[in-house]
């Protein structure tokens, strides 16, 4: 059988002849060997030439199983033959440097430089905001930046889930005002810091999962009359959350908020903080395009050629009906988690989180009416690059559990494509791009049809951080600045081993667990209790690591690169002064400096609180 091959970024072909963009690439399976044996490349005519691979090719782990291939007709959109991945725009090529595939710059990002700039600070002056998810990591970085750069901004209403006004104020003080992130503002305002903050920040009790976003009548009327910009930063980011829970906040929530936005008389812009990974299992260069209601990535990729369009209302009803059945116990919770993953993967998304976020975008686009919309799609958001100071972090972000477990000697290998790319972007760059987009599009409504603008804030297309390089950076950091064990002895870690085979990774985990527990050194058979205890510890350690790898596998073998042409074009609108104060050019990130001197020290200080 012939089928298009979607490779992970590590797949490499030694091609004696150059492959052109008009070429189509198919792989033929050998039924006897049950493997992918050769690649046929042909132009418009269909005559092909066979290219033997340097090493066995393997199908991207993003597919339903490792033996599955995608069927696409020869007359379908072009394939990016240089990278052997489907390219949504059908005309992108790549170069390969040391086995790492790098996309050529997309020519669509025309330069539109402006000496005057966007006028970000002047736009913020006097504007009133409504922000959801305001006690979350990214929202706090945004609030701090706005108050520091534009202290004469108007009221910022913060939707906070709390039982009453007093509880909301208490959360505001403990989770926002008292955090280290705001130390620059604290130093600037001195004794008047708290009065300044409470004058600008107005906590209102509510919940975007509820009708009218849970606002009291008086609060709803005030905000609807005053607010200029709405920013939705509320989300449930657990990859394998219960389907009903994730749908409630990530899908139904944005729809509820848009319903309220349409009541706001002065509203200039609705901004949705999404994620670049709403693109699911799309491959190759992934463009900054909005979702329309019913879009289905599985259908795009021909995973399910006859599948009907995605019906968001039906998905919400399905989850609600499933949640009502049976008792609310641990088994029921697991079934709801499994349901979310099953539905996500059947439609072409890797997990419940990104699936429900994508449906949230669909809800916004289908109900927005005449409301101008901006969708911000950051990739993996990590610690601040420089503002308000380098390395600020809160909680374990996506890659951080692996980084910290490795530094503490608890994880010496991981399941990852060594030549693959971890798409990371610092939190302050996401905030800067968000504010630039608000200034660009937050103009008064006109008679023209309202726009929906998408900005992907990501590094993989223009400044990729390769996993094997990341492993070296982690090793060099912990080699020079090791963590300490409970006795104050430095923990010396080896270079992390990267595995692209589940079996090899499992073998490594078991051997490593045995060595660390002392089983490899021999335990007296007479001491059966100790032996059983050590075996139990080893088993739990292996299970936890494998669980972590299973959750992260769709991201550590991700086959797409996020185009950020709109984001780069936005940067070109800014003045030099704005670029200095609100810069977000991910192409300028020095990964060695950021990972070793900013991010890991920030993790150890703000997450581990110096305990390592």
More confident residue, 448 or 472: 472
Mean pLDDT of 170-189: 97
| Spatial distance between the Cα atoms of 121 and 575, rounded to a whole number of angstroms | 12
Q: Is the pLDDT of residue 366 over 80?
A: yes
Write out the two tokens for 298: 């599985």
Identify whether the C-beta of residue 546 lies closer than 8 Å to the C-beta of residue 509.
yes
pLDDT digits (tens, 9 = 90+) for 236-263: 999 999 999 999 999 999 999 999 999 9
Q: How many percent of the chain have pLDDT more than 70?
A: 77
Query: Does the active-site annotation cover 353?
Result: yes
Q: How far is CA 221 from the centre of its chain?
A: 35
* Backbone φ and ψ of 285, nearest 5°: -75, 120
Counting DSSP H helices and E strands in the chain, the numbers are 21, 23
Q: How many percent of the chain have pLDDT more than 90?
A: 66
What distances in angstroms separate CA 71 from CA 86, 301, 304, 334, 585, one per listed residue? 12, 8, 9, 33, 38
Q: Tell me the pTM.
A: 0.83
pLDDT digits (tens, 9 = 90+) for 287-311: 999 999 999 999 887 655 556 689 9
Query: Does the active-site annotation cover 385?
Result: no
Apex CA 101: angle with CA 98 and CA 105, to 5°?
120
pLDDT digits (tens, 9 = 90+) for 414-439: 999 999 999 999 999 999 999 999 99
Which residue from 559, 281, 551, 283 is spatially nearest to 420, judged by alpha carbons? 559
Question: Residue holding tokens 């080893």?
Answer: 538
The answer as to CATH 3.40.50.720 being correct for domain 120-394+423-462+560-588 is: yes
Confidence of residue 58 (pLDDT cuts 50, 70, 90): very low
Q: Reduce the secondary structure of 70-128 to three states and give it as a string.
A: ECCCCCCCCEECCCCEECCCCCCCEEEECCEEEECCCCCCCCCCCCCCCCHHHHHECCC
Identify whether the C-beta of residue 501 lies closer than 8 Å to the C-beta of residue 8.
no
Q: Is the pLDDT of residue 174 over 70?
A: yes
Confidence of residue 7 (pLDDT cuts 50, 70, 90): very low
Catalytic residue among 357, 408, 419, 440: 357
* Backbone φ and ψ of 202, nearest 5°: -115, 105
| Spatial distance between the Cα atoms of 423 and 557, rounded to a whole number of angstroms | 11
Catalytic residue among 157, 353, 406, 555: 353
pLDDT at 99: 58
pLDDT digits (tens, 9 = 90+) for 380-419: 999 999 999 999 999 888 889 999 999 999 999 999 999 9
Q: Where are the beta strands (DSSP E) in 259-314?
A: 269-273, 284-286
pLDDT at 36: 32
The overall average pLDDT reported for the chain is: 83
What's the alpha-carbon Rg for the chain, to the nearest Å? 25
Burial of 53 (0-12, 13-18, 19+ CB in 10 A): middle
pLDDT digits (tens, 9 = 90+) for 196-235: 999 999 999 999 999 999 999 999 999 999 999 999 999 9
More confident residue, 40 or 142: 142
Three-class SS state of 31: coil
Which residue from 458, 147, 134 is spatially nearest to 278, judged by alpha carbons? 458
């Amino acid at each position: 059988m012939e089928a298009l091959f979607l490779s992970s970024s590590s797949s490499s072909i030694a091609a004696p002849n150059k492959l052109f963009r008009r070429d189509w690439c198919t792989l033929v399976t050998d039924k006897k060997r049950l493997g992918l044996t050769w690649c046929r490349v042909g132009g418009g005519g269909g005559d092909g030439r066979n290219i033997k691979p340097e090493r066995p090719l393997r199908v991207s782990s993003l597919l339903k199983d490792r033996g599955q291939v995608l069927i696409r007709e020869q007359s379908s959109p072009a394939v990016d033959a240089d990278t052997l991945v489907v390219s949504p725009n059908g005309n992108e090529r790549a170069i390969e440097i040391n086995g790492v595939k790098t996309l050529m710059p997309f020519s669509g990002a025309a330069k539109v430089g402006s000496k005057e700039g966007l006028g970000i600070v002047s736009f913020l002056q006097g504007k009133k905001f409504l922000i959801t998810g305001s006690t979350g990591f990214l929202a706090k970085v945004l609030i701090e930046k706005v108050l520091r750069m534009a202290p004469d901004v108007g009221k910022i209403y913060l939707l906070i889930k709390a039982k009453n006004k007093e509880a909301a104020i208490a959360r505001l003080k403990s989770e926002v005002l008292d955090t280290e992130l705001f130390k620059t503002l604290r130093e600037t305002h001195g004794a008047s810091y708290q009065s300044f903050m409470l004058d600008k920040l107005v906590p209102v009790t509510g919940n975007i999962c509820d009708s009218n976003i849970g606002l009291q009548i008086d609060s709803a009327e005030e905000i609807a009359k005053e607010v200029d910009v709405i920013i939705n930063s509320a989300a449930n980011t657990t990859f394998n959350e219960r389907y009903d829970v994730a749908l409630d906040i990530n899908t139904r929530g944005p729809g509820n908020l848009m319903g309220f936005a349409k009541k706001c008389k002065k509203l200039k812009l609705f901004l949705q903080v999404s994620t670049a990974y709403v693109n699911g299992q799309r491959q190759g260069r992934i463009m900054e395009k909005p979702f329309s209601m019913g879009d289905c990535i599985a259908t795009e990729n021909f995973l399910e050629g006859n599948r009907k369009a995605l019906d968001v209302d039906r998905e919400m009803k399905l989850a609600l009906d499933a949640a009502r059945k049976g008792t609310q116990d641990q088994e029921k919770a697991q079934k709801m988690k499994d349901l979310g993953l099953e539905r996500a993967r059947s439609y072409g998304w890797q997990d419940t989180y990104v699936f429900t976020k994508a449906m949230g975008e669909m809800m916004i686009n289908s109900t927005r009416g005449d409301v101008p919309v901006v969708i911000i799609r950051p990739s993996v958001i990590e610690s601040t690059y420089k503002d308000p100071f380098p390395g600020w972090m809160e909680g374990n972000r996506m890659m951080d559990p692996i980084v910290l477990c490795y530094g503490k000697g608890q994880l010496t290998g991981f399941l990852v494509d060594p030549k693959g790319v971890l798409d990371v972007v610092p939190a302050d760059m996401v905030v800067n791009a968000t504010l630039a987009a608000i200034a660009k599009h937050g103009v008064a409504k006109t008679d023209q049809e309202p726009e929906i603008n998408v900005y992907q804030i990501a590094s993989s297309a223009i400044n990729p951080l390769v996993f094997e390089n990341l492993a070296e950076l982690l090793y060099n950091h912990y080699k020079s600045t090791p963590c300490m064990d409970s006795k104050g002895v430095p923990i010396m870690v080896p270079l992390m081993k990267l595995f692209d085979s589940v079996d090899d990774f499992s073998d490594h985990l078991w051997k490593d667990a045995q060595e660390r527990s002392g089983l490899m050194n021999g335990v007296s058979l007479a001491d059966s209790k100790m032996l059983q205890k050590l075996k139990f510890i080893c088993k739990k350690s292996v299970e936890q690591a494998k669980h972590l790898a299973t959750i992260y596998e769709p991201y550590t073998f991700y086959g797409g690169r996020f185009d950020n042409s709109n984001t780069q074009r936005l940067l070109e609108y800014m003045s030099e002064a704005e670029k200095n104060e609100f810069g977000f050019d991910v192409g300028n990130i020095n990964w060695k400096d950021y990972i070793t001197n900013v991010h890991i020290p920030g993790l150890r200080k703000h997450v581990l609180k110096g305990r390592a």
